[in-house]
Amino acid sequence: MKEIEGGTEDDELIDINQDDDHDHPEGGHDDDEEQKALLGSLQAVAYQNTMGMTVTSGSVTITKDNSNLIGISIGGGASLCPCLYIVQVFDNTPAARDGTLQSGDELVGVNGASVKGKTKVEVAKMIQACKEEVTINYNKLHADPQQGKTLDIVLKKVKHRLVENMSTATADALGLSRAILCNDTLVKKLEELEQTEMMYQGLVEHAKRVLKAFFDLLQVYKAFGDTFAEIGVREPQPRASEVFRQFGDYHRQMEKYGIKMLKSVKPILSDLGTYLYKAIPDTKLTIRKYADTKFEYLSYCLKVKEMDDEEYSYGALQEPLYRVETGNYEYRLILRCRQDARTRFARLRSDVLVKLELLDNKHVQDVVWQLQRLVAGLAEFHGETLSLLQGNSLFPIEVDLARSAFQYKSTSPVVQDGAEDEEDDELLQADEAKEEFISLIPELRD
């Protein structure tokens, strides 16, 4: 499996020792003139093939760091490429903090000295020879990032997205290379976030059902209160009437206590809903954007490595490569796109880290606090109910009842049939002969 460290191996400046001594035919002064003229014409043609991109000239003075570096890597140069360009601007370096130089920009001069026709090693030594400050003359490349987002880049993104979810053994079996940017666990956080979302969804649904059942119980309390109040109004005995009225009033107060408790704990659902329906989806969207930018950055890194390998293979065969001889604008365009993708990747990675940290803190603290609010509300309700009922002894209740108060007439129809058997006749005869009433309260029997 190939591992491509994005922003490291494919961005390092590779020094290739080239022989500056070339064999020339004897008496070839005229031949030298012809070769120079031919080389000049080729260079003129090379600078015209800009692939529709424009350049503007400028200069910038950069103060070196303690390591006597400005933080750029250089590519191109003699003897294959007619121009020198910036391959990468490293992070947290003087060039990166200045922000003027970008990947793909052409280097024209160092401290007023032209670098045309020089190798990248010679230009690097010129920059190192400067003390404290160095003035860089450059041609700024104005590239359209959409021009570099070709079908090849899109397909590489698709491949990275597929390989990301594969195991190492599966990717090896399919012959797919895995581009490793870093030990990134942020994308895997998406799965944990989905599990947290399911937990919160279950918690919210369960809390809704509990509060709905509690509200139904309060309606039963209210119905009890109304019923006992009505009984108290109809009761002729004053003592029993007052007891029924108070008992009904207690149930009505319990219903009011419950409604007050529901109003106090109802914001819990909205708070949990904010976390569930706003915070988690926003973080998931940021993670998806981060993953997409990450795959795009990896695709550009892989494209740069492929183009580098192509240059090395042609150089090993001592064969000219058209895009290199014509200014290598295609390569410089990919370098600029990679730098832009890296900038977006770093920004989104920072956003994801901040949002995940805030989400974890809210998950740990907020859930505990919301559940404590719910438990405290229920405890307060039960405490008020207990104090309401415990301090008032209403039972037993003495009421005056008629002897026939609990005697109920039979609702079953009487069947008179002469053809009934003897057992039914005896049963009916026993029922008709017995005049005692059935009492539902044993204490009321004589």
User: Which CATH number goes with the domain that contains 136?
Assistant: 2.30.42.10
Contacts 24+ apart (CB under 8 A), 372-376: 373/264, 373/265, 373/268, 374/207, 374/265, 374/268
The answer to whether residues 121 and 262 belong to one domain is no
* Overall number of domains in the chain: 2
Location of structure tokens 């819990």: 268
The answer to whether residues 223 and 307 belong to one domain is yes
Give the pLDDT of residue 22: 35
The answer to whether residues 219 and 114 belong to one domain is no
15 within some domain: no
Kindly report the CATH number assigned to the domain that includes residue 243: 1.20.1270.60
66 burial type by CB count under 10 A (0-12 exposed, 13-18 middle, 19+ buried): exposed
Give the pLDDT of residue 44: 42
The answer to whether residues 227 and 112 belong to one domain is no
From residue 300, alpha-carbon distances to 104, 128, 377, 398 in Å are 14, 30, 57, 92
Location of structure tokens 């895995």: 178
Q: Which two tokens stand for residue 38?
A: 């031919």
112 within some domain: yes
Whether the CB-CB separation of 77 and 120 falls below 8 Å is answered with yes
Which of 373, 390, 407 is the endpoint of a domain?
A: 390
From residue 237, alpha-carbon distances to 234, 397, 400 in Å are 9, 11, 7
Which of 357, 390, 423 is the endpoint of a domain?
A: 390
433 within some domain: no
Distance of alpha carbon 70 from alpha carbon 134, whole angstroms: 9
Q: Which has the closest alpha carbon to 319: 46, 80, 147?
A: 80
135 within some domain: yes
Residues 6 or more apart in contact with residue 420 via CB below 8 angstroms: 428
Instruction: Identify the domain containing residue 349 by its residue range.
Output: 189-390
Q: Which two tokens stand for residue 105?
A: 């920009």
Distance of alpha carbon 374 from alpha carbon 266, whole angstroms: 9
Contacts 24+ apart (CB under 8 A), 144-152: 144/53, 145/336, 145/337, 145/340, 147/51, 147/52, 147/53, 147/333, 148/300, 148/333, 148/334, 148/336, 148/337, 149/337, 152/303
The answer to whether residues 199 and 60 belong to one domain is no
Distance of alpha carbon 82 from alpha carbon 87, whole angstroms: 15
The answer to whether residues 234 and 308 belong to one domain is yes
31 within some domain: no
The answer to whether residues 230 and 356 belong to one domain is yes
CB atoms within 10 A of CB 23: 4
The answer to whether residues 197 and 101 belong to one domain is no
152 within some domain: no
The answer to whether residues 232 and 95 belong to one domain is no
User: What residue spans of 317-443 are helical by DSSP H?
Assistant: 322-325, 329-390, 422-433
Give the pLDDT of residue 213: 92
Residue 217 has φ and ψ, to the nearest 5°, of -65, -40
276 within some domain: yes
The answer to whether residues 115 and 209 belong to one domain is no
Give the pLDDT of residue 168: 64
Q: Which has the closest alpha carbon to 53: 341, 299, 332, 308?
A: 332
The answer to whether residues 112 and 209 belong to one domain is no
User: What residue spans of 317-328 are helical by DSSP H?
Assistant: 322-325
The answer to whether residues 124 and 203 belong to one domain is no
Location of structure tokens 């603290």: 365
pLDDT digits (tens), the chain, 446 positions: 444 434 333 333 333 333 333 333 333 444 555 444 444 444 444 444 677 788 888 999 988 888 888 889 998 887 788 889 999 898 888 899 888 888 988 899 988 888 888 888 988 888 888 888 889 999 988 888 888 888 888 888 888 777 776 666 766 666 665 555 544 677 677 778 888 888 888 888 998 999 999 999 999 999 988 888 888 888 777 888 888 888 888 889 899 999 999 988 888 888 888 888 888 888 888 888 888 888 889 889 989 999 989 888 888 888 888 888 888 888 999 999 999 999 998 888 888 888 888 888 877 777 888 888 888 988 998 988 888 888 667 667 676 666 666 777 766 665 555 544 554 444 444 444 444 444 444 444 44
33 within some domain: no
